[in-house]
Amino acid sequence: MPRYAFTVVIGQDAPSEPHHRSLADADEAWEKARAMVTELMAATSDSRLVTAAMMVTDEAEDIVFELPFAEVLAAPGNPGGSMPGGSMH
């Protein structure tokens, strides 16, 4: 099972250590990233998160995708079955 690292990036800074998860594939990593962004936004009132992105890398430390927090906020009712945006690498 592939291992992914989830890192919150604000500007050029990563204010915390990456969160690692073993998941089936990039689609599952996308769903996990969306859930993590939603949880972070609900847990804090840090206005910097509006400009943040969740960067997901693989075991080789290659970027799999970046998910802007603003994209998740813009589509709160979207069940997220697809990868409508973000930057796929």
Q: What is the pTM of this model?
A: 0.81
At 18-35, the pLDDT tens digits run 999 999 999 999 999 999
Measured CA to CA, the distance from residue 48 to residue 57 in angstroms comes to 22
pLDDT of residue 10: 94
Those residues whose C-beta lies under 8 Å from the C-beta of residue 78, and which sit 6 or more positions away, are: 84
pLDDT of residue 25: 97
pLDDT at 74 over 90: no
